[in-house]
Structure 1
Amino acid sequence: MTAPIISIQQVSKMFAKQPVLDQISLDVQKGEIIAILGKSGCGKSTLLNLIGGFEQPSSGQVLLDDEIVMKASKRCIMLMQNYGLLPWRSVQKNVELALEGTGLTKIERQRRAQHYLKLVGLENRLSALPSELSGGMQQRVAIARALAIQPEVILMDEPFAALDTFTRYYLQDELLAIQKEEKTTILLVTHDIDEAIYLADRIFIMSPNPGRIHRELLIRSTKPRDRSDSDFQHFREIIFNEFQFTHPQNAVEYNI
């Protein structure tokens, strides 16, 4: 197996002398989609912030391509529920904003922004303002903006939580199609069990107080997955049982 693109090594985090994360260790391979599931307060978002360099661990280390993550960089981009679009800038200009200061010419910025907006299906809305778009479209602009930077890793913190079910399903399919083309590594924090099973190659279930890796699930089913088939329901049952903590064993893999 090749060296991981992300290596989290014995990471712990304290806030106000209270342990939030305890001895987190996991590796992520290039091109994987990893989902992190857990109840509120188990430190999922804190873990993403440590990976992205927005915070530093109290002990342990996070490595990106064998380099210790000391600060945020454009190699690793965060996507959140709040789309972060500037309301006075057009769709294209919002995407181009992420490319300012990169050394690209104006024409190069325009072409790259248009390429990724086409990838998310918004090539006909380049001049629209964010207020003229649905929530799902605004999230697609945010995805295009993140992709335009061409990061090695995209961190997603509940990115589809505010959307209705059908829009969320559509964007999940869009994300899979884009990830297949771009080969981007994605780490996704979600409370949605079905979303984790549908998208992820591996799921890490966290337990709280302090946050620890409780179990790892490896999902070998091909994508896109059928939410109604027996394999999908099997993983749902496993995860529901884990949230009830009915099985104490750690780090068991279920391969289907």
Structure 2
Amino acid sequence: MNDVPVIQIGNLHKSYENKGKSEQVLKDINLNIRKGETIAILGKSGCGKSTLLNLIGGFLTTDTGQIHFKGEEVTKPGRKIVMLFQDYGLLPWRTVLKNVELGLENTDLSSDQRREKALYYLNMVGLDDRLDRFPSQLSGGMQQRVAIARALAIEPDVLLMDEPFGALDTFTRYFLQDELLKIQKQAETTVILVTHDIDESIYLADRVVIMGSNPGQIIREVPIDTYKPRDRSGDDFQHFRKLILNEFELIHSKPSIEFNI
């Protein structure tokens, strides 16, 4: 893993207008992310996780502070940072193959080259036998794999994932988490994952970024330096699980103040 940051976030603040008042969503976010690293941004609903992801992707602009990608300031969406959403975003009238080819159509690639690249990534996610199926003919897990293949076919440097497995059943979610580990290792893509699932963050990430709320801010970064794939029942896994749970208890506890007179 390269130690040079591919994403640099410095002194970032973000607010929204609500009923004529400014509400701060993110406060003083500072974070460096290395090439090939998988980062999990973990926090409760409303802490600004998705806002941060949209800022990294260039879909929103900062109030103050900056985000740099490979040394260049992020001011708009680009092909090298791709967002993968929970709802898959597949076009129902296009086949699996044509959905994956979608992001390649406004490029210099020929139709044969587009097909070859789409096939490569569909094979990577294990769907090369579903090329002519339509999204309605696929399970939710398969649809998500098509969405992953479509994102990877663009060959981004950074893949942003906003609760990508949240709508799936437990067994499908575990399967896709394993698939993501294999794909990320093979493609060497930097992954930034937003989640509220502690176990998912420990299983997938090289580093867990814990966020507090009101306003959203980074409370702690936890390196997960054990081997992958990880044993969900192992002592190391339980150690990190307890550590992170304790951190959330500290974040949300209200200390009492006693006066001795």
TM-score using structure 1 length = 0.95
Q: Pick closer, same or farther for the CA change 1:2–1:197 going to 2, 3 Å.
A: closer
2:158 paired with 1:157: no
2:244 paired with 1:243: no
2:49 paired with 1:32: no
Q: How many residues align?
A: 248
Which residue of 1 is the match for residue 178 of structure 2?
173
Q: Which runs of 4+ in 1 moved over 4 A?
A: none
Provide structure 1 residue ranges, at least 5 long, that are not aligned to the other structure.
249-256
Q: Pick closer, same or farther for the CA change 1:75–1:216 going to 2, 3 Å.
A: same
Cα distance in 1 for residues equivalent to 2:92 and 2:146: 12
**SS of equivalent to 2:133:** coil
Between structure 1 and structure 2, the one with the greater Rg is 2
Which residue of 2 is the match for residue 220 of structure 1?
225
Which residue of 1 is the match for residue 259 of structure 2?
none
Provide Cα deviations, 1:174-214, integer angstroms capped at 9, x if missing partner: 00000101100000000111000000000000000000000
2:191 paired with 1:190: no
Q: Is the 8 A contact 2:212 2:251 kept in 1?
A: no
Cα distance in 2 for residues equivalent to 1:178 and 1:40: 28
Cα distance in 2 for residues equivalent to 1:239 and 1:158: 19
Cα distance in 1 for residues equivalent to 2:128 and 2:73: 38
Question: Residue 246 of structure 1: CA displacement?
Answer: 6.2
Corresponding letter in the other structure for 2:11: Q
Pairs within 5 Å for 1:108-127: 108-127=113-132
Corresponding letter in the other structure for 2:173: R
Q: Is the 8 A contact 1:22 1:212 kept in 2?
A: yes
Match of 1:69 among 74, 85, 98: 74
Provide Cα deviations, 1:145-195, integer angstroms capped at 9, x if missing partner: 000000000000000000000000000000000010110000000011100
Which residue of 1 is the match for residue 87 of structure 2?
82
Question: Residue 243 of structure 1: CA displacement?
Answer: 1.4
Corresponding letter in the other structure for 2:5: P
Q: Is the 8 A contact 1:12 1:21 kept in 2?
A: yes
Provide structure 2 residue ranges, at least 5 long, that are not aligned to the other structure.
254-261
Question: Residue 247 of structure 1: CA displacement?
Answer: 9.8
Question: Residue 242 of structure 1: CA displacement?
Answer: 1.3
Cα distance in 2 for residues equivalent to 1:220 and 1:247: 26
